[in-house]
């Protein structure tokens, strides 16, 4: 798979063609077995697991991981350690790496994250989803009332693979009008195991919902969704209701697995489902 614009990333990404029987098995294990474990236990295990990547010994994983997952062997030169550190002291530091220089673009609307665009559809065409015998609509993902999001809006879901950059940035200039934390499960995010419904985890997993009103008065709805092994989802500096944000300003970061959903007043102009998107690329 190739990136649509020649920016910073290593866009190689395999969209796995999992046989239906195997996808059904993985879905059963994720939703019916792991998903029925109490959420607090899922979270406790995920926190413990993710803590292993904070240990100094995990630093030894970084070099072989880069060799295995990136064709660009100088990939890491585009980034710097987080939190003002001078070195990557553990694998988690690599996972939450920061750009040395953010991508530049003249577009007023940009993608807020990097990964596989696994779902893209106008709201009026989206199907209902049944979760534990409860019928849910797309408004459930963003924690708003039914019909609050206009039907002409477009829903997108970007799956962030472990190798992808794991910070979320603002897609527009605007003002934060709402932040909502939704407790939930941490079922597996891999979209290829949910045949016909790659966004199912976004309806039930723990997430932060952030609404941004752009300079034209339109609301962009973001849902930052956690998955197994997510220790936490951390909001960026000065990310609070009433504060203004500029395009590409950091909104949040993930400590391991993640997905970013968005309901936007316009449709993607250069990307379709099952293509790779990057931070800062025109939306």
Domain boundaries, the chain: 20-277
Predicted TM-score (pTM) of the model is 0.90
Q: Name the band, by pLDDT with cuts 50, 70 and 90, for residue 24.
A: confident
Neighbours of 112 (CB within 10 A): 30
Burial bucket for residue 47 (CB in 10 Å: 0-12, 13-18, 19+):
middle
Nearest 5°: the CA angle 273, 220, 210 is: 105
Q: Which residue has the tokens 């195991």?
A: 193
- Predicted pLDDT at 60: 95
CB 42 within 8 A of CB 205: no
pLDDT, one tens digit per residue, over 246-279 is 999 999 887 766 889 999 999 999 898 888 899 9
d(CA 217, CA 70): 40
Q: Kind of pairing, strands 207-214 and 219-226? A: antiparallel
Q: Does the pLDDT at position 3 exceed 50?
A: no
What is the share, in percent, of the chain residues with pLDDT greater than 90?
42
DSSP secondary structure, 173-235, as one string? SEEEEEEEEE--B-----GGGSTT-TTHHHHHB-EEEEEEEETTS-EEEEEEEE-TT---EEE
Q: Name the band, by pLDDT with cuts 50, 70 and 90, for residue 39.
A: confident
d(CA 25, CA 12): 27
Q: Which residue has the tokens 């489902």?
A: 273
d(CA 186, CA 181): 14
């Amino acid at each position: 798979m190739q990136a649509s614009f020649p920016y910073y990333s290593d866009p190689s990404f395999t969209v796995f063609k999992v046989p239906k029987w195997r996808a059904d098995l993985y879905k059963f294990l994720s939703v019916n077995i792991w998903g029925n474990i109490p959420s607090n236990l899922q979270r406790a295990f995920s926190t413990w697991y993710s803590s292993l990547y904070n240990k100094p010994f995990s630093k030894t994983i970084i070099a072989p991981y880069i060799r295995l997952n990136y064709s660009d062997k100088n990939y890491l030169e585009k980034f710097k350690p987080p939190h003002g550190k001078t070195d990557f002291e553990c694998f988690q530091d690599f996972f939450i790496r920061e750009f040395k220089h953010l991508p530049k673009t003249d577009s007023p609307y940009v993608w807020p994250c990097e990964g596989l665009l696994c779902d893209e559809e106008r709201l009026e065409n989206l199907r209902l989803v049944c979760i534990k015998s409860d019928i849910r609509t797309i408004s459930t993902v963003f924690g708003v009332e039914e019909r609050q999001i206009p039907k002409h809006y477009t829903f997108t879901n970007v799956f962030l693979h472990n190798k992808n950059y794991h910070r979320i940035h603002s897609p527009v200039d605007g003002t934060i009008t709402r932040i909502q934390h939704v407790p939930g499960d941490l079922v597996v995010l891999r979209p290829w195991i949910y045949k016909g419904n790659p966004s199912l985890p976004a309806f039930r997993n723990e997430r932060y919902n952030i609404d941004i009103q752009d300079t034209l008065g339109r609301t962009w709805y973001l849902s930052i969704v956690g998955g197994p092994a997510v220790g936490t989802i951390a909001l960026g500096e000065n990310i609070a209701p009433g504060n203004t944000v500029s395009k590409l300003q950091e909104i949040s970061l993930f400590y391991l697995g993640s997905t970013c959903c968005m309901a936007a007043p316009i449709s993607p102009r250069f990307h379709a489902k099952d293509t790779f998107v990057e931070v800062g690329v025109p939306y």
